[in-house]
Amino acid sequence: MSVVDRLFPEPLPSVADLKARFPNRALADDAMVTRVGPSPTGFMHIGTLYTGRICAQFARRTGGVSILRIEDTDKKREVDGAVGFIIDAFDQFDVAFDEGADRNKTDRGAYGPYRQSHRGDIYQAFVRSLVEQGLAYPCFSTGDELNAMREQQKASSIRTGYYGKWALWRDRPEADVVAALDAGIPFVIRFRAPGNHETKLTFTDLIAGERDLPENDVDTVILKSDGLPTYHMAHVVDDHLMGVTHVIRGDEWFSSVPTHLQLFDALGFDRPHFAHIAPIMKMDGTSRRKLSKRKDPEATVGYFEELGYPSEAVMDYLLTLMDPEFETWRADNPDAASWDFELTMKGLQSSSGPLFDFDKLGSISRDVIAGLSSDAVYTRLLGWATTHDADLAGLMTSEKDKVTDILSIERGGPNARKDFAMWSGIKPDLAYFFDDRFDLSRETAQQMLDYLTPDELGRLVQEFLDSYDPSDDSATWFGKLKELGGKHGFALRPKDYKKNPDDYKGAVSDVAKIFRVLLTGRERSPDLYSVMQVMGPDQVARRCALVF
């Protein structure tokens, strides 16, 4: 048996068969084929959603194809159910891919499988062809040997890595390989790097622009001892076979580009375009840093869902981070689908390393919720509550009509209420409408209304109730409040009143505050007239009775 057959004992497809199985895509010249390649580690970084959306946005706009590829060659990091978790997260944020991994272990598209662990024979076939051409070789160095080598390199202050004279198995006689195979020593396959570290190559990235990078001389591992490829090999083979035109990925891969270009060339594949995206950053004290999975809850996609930011608000916010032009576009096209926005590489270039800003997200989110009908708010809030707040879901179901009425307050039109930024923040605004969830003591009310004596307060409230007619329209209701303010100005604003008793306009806001406090327990509330309408005369009277 030849050495190559011993390295690859299982039957493998031929490279020619593979080329036939993955034919060129028949697409227009400017159509972009893009892919996002999350690893199923059980954690979905906001950057994965960000990159996925960028990939899908370009593909849609250019009539191309977007692909969701599961990069699960690192079995040690894999977590059960993590693929479903990734698919759900993209779904939740309405990022759909044309091809790729789907639920129930099915795939969509003709260029699959779309899970790298199901493509083992494909990678092996290409690795085998590299070995046959002398462009790759087996390496039997053990972990201990490699560590010792690294220590020695460090001690001598030289660049660490498996290159040049340190590449111990690069030119070993075949007899050594046979002996190692006979001894059953595990091996990896390394790429025979053709580069010279002293020489620079010029590479043009669609975002980072033209850059000079040192050529790669490290004999990178391309096939691990478990028979699965490393990222470097897998991405090159997949991106070629899947017809990917634009490799859009995080810029942590930028320094590996020289290796990747060598692999594309060695395999005889056309090089795709590369676009390396700057990561989302945050301020930490006075310095900027990448969002960190360990330190920042906002690094996780699930965090936004838990807090209940509407998914389209998160997406609009991410689009503002991707491309500074998005905000102007959104202001001009408030109702358009964000998929219609023409994202550009130039935009991505100018957004470099955008800072995450919760205030901005909150303001976008408030606008989004303000634009929803009360039925939509009800449905979406209930959807969120069903997963995250059973008590709220129960209240919403048992008191559906009243909750819908509450949610209708100040909804619709240009002055729609903008105080809701996330579903998790709404409950307190519903709760005070229900007697069993409302708890205001006379003392607290009196403290909040300390500009009135208890007597004055009682008199004012009584007078209001005497004239209150729930069938009044909002203007009549307001007129009555105003009249009351005028009449009691002395009590409400003694200084203002004394200054100019004849011209005193009436402290309507002070009168309103009395009822706002008694009805809601707060100094701020949505439109008080609507609050009273939703509560109805009995509940209004019950709450006012606190002061008698």
**What is the closest distance, in whole angstroms, from the C-beta atom of residue 233 to ligand GLU in the complex?**
12
Backbone phi, then psi, for 300, in 5-degree steps?
-100, 130
Q: Which is nearer to ligand GLU, 39 or 520 (CB)?
A: 39
Q: Which is nearer to ligand GLU, 246 or 330 (CB)?
A: 246
Q: How far is CA 71 from CA 37, 68, 78, 80, 114, in A?
A: 6, 9, 10, 14, 9
Residue 2: half-sphere exposure toward Cβ, Cα within 13 Å = 6
* Two structure tokens written together for 249: 């990925």
Q: Binding mask 19-38 vs ligand GLU (x if CB under 6 A, - otherwise)?
A: ------------------xx
Q: Which is nearer to ligand GLU, 54 or 519 (CB)?
A: 54
Q: Which residues contact 460 (CB under 8 A, 6 or more apart)?
A: 452, 484, 488, 491, 511, 514
Establish whether the linkage from the previous residue to 113 is cis, with ω within 30° of 0.
Answer: yes
Q: Which of 317, 318, 347, 342 is nearest to 329 (CA)?
A: 342
Calpha distance 37→349 (Å, rounded): 21
**What is the closest distance, in whole angstroms, from the C-beta atom of residue 276 to ligand GLU in the complex?**
10
**What is the closest distance, in whole angstroms, from the C-beta atom of residue 248 to ligand GLU in the complex?**
7
**What is the closest distance, in whole angstroms, from the C-beta atom of residue 236 to ligand GLU in the complex?**
10
Calpha distance 94→231 (Å, rounded): 27
Q: Which is nearer to ligand GLU, 292 or 453 (CB)?
A: 292
**What is the closest distance, in whole angstroms, from the C-beta atom of residue 235 to ligand GLU in the complex?**
5
Q: Which is nearer to ligand GLU, 246 or 249 (CB)?
A: 249
**What is the closest distance, in whole angstroms, from the C-beta atom of residue 173 to ligand GLU in the complex?**
37
Dihedral angle of Cα 370, 376, 378, 384, to the nearest 10 degrees: -90
Q: Which is nearer to ligand GLU, 115 or 411 (CB)?
A: 115
| Number of residues this chain uses to bind ligand GLU (CB under 6 A) | 7
- Cβ-count burial 322-360 (b if 16+ within 10 Å, e if not): bbebbeebbeeeeeeebbebebebebbbebeebebeeee
Q: Which is nearer to ligand GLU, 187 or 274 (CB)?
A: 274
Q: Binding mask 197-236 vs ligand GLU (x if CB under 6 A, - otherwise)?
A: --------------------------------------x-
**What is the closest distance, in whole angstroms, from the C-beta atom of residue 100 to ligand GLU in the complex?**
13
Q: Which residues contact 229 (CB under 8 A, 6 or more apart)?
A: 73, 116, 120, 123, 127, 222, 223, 237
**What is the closest distance, in whole angstroms, from the C-beta atom of residue 238 to ligand GLU in the complex?**
9
Calpha distance 432→365 (Å, rounded): 24
**What is the closest distance, in whole angstroms, from the C-beta atom of residue 231 to ligand GLU in the complex?**
6
Q: Which is nearer to ligand GLU, 126 or 163 (CB)?
A: 126
71 binds ligand GLU (CB under 6 A): yes
Q: Which is nearer to ligand GLU, 145 or 252 (CB)?
A: 252
The pairing of beta strand 188-191 with beta strand 221-223: antiparallel
488 binds ligand GLU (CB under 6 A): no
Q: Which of 511, 466, 451, 509 is nearest to 484 (CA)?
A: 511
Q: How far is CA 371 from CA 137, 196, 304, 338, 440, in A?
A: 61, 59, 19, 15, 32
**What is the closest distance, in whole angstroms, from the C-beta atom of residue 395 to ligand GLU in the complex?**
41
Q: Which is nearer to ligand GLU, 124 or 230 (CB)?
A: 230
Q: Which is nearer to ligand GLU, 242 or 457 (CB)?
A: 242
Q: Which is nearer to ligand GLU, 39 or 259 (CB)?
A: 39
Q: Binding mask 35-54 vs ligand GLU (x if CB under 6 A, - otherwise)?
A: --xxx---------------
Beta strand spans in 132-255 (E): 136-139, 188-191, 200-205, 209-214, 221-223, 246-250
Q: Which is nearer to ligand GLU, 69 or 192 (CB)?
A: 69
Q: Which is nearer to ligand GLU, 348 or 445 (CB)?
A: 348
**What is the closest distance, in whole angstroms, from the C-beta atom of residue 325 to ligand GLU in the complex?**
24
- Which of 115, 249, 411, 516 lies at the binding interface for ligand GLU (CB under 6 A)? 249
**What is the closest distance, in whole angstroms, from the C-beta atom of residue 66 to ligand GLU in the complex?**
12
Q: How far is CA 444 from CA 463, 510, 524, 547, in A?
A: 22, 17, 15, 11
- Cβ-count burial 274-285 (b if 16+ within 10 Å, e if not): bbbbbbbbbeee
276 binds ligand GLU (CB under 6 A): no
| Helix/strand/coil for 433 | coil
**What is the closest distance, in whole angstroms, from the C-beta atom of residue 156 to ligand GLU in the complex?**
32
Kindly state the helix (H) or strand (E) to which residue 510 belongs, with its residue range: helix 508-520
Q: Which residues contact 503 (CB under 8 A, 6 or more apart)?
A: none
Q: Which residues contact 227 (CB under 8 A, 6 or more apart)?
A: 120, 124
**What is the closest distance, in whole angstroms, from the C-beta atom of residue 332 to ligand GLU in the complex?**
32
Q: Which of 22, 26, 47, 25 is nearest to 36 (CA)?
A: 47
Calpha distance 523→514 (Å, rounded): 9
- Sites of contact with ligand GLU (CB under 6 A): 37-39, 71, 235, 249-250
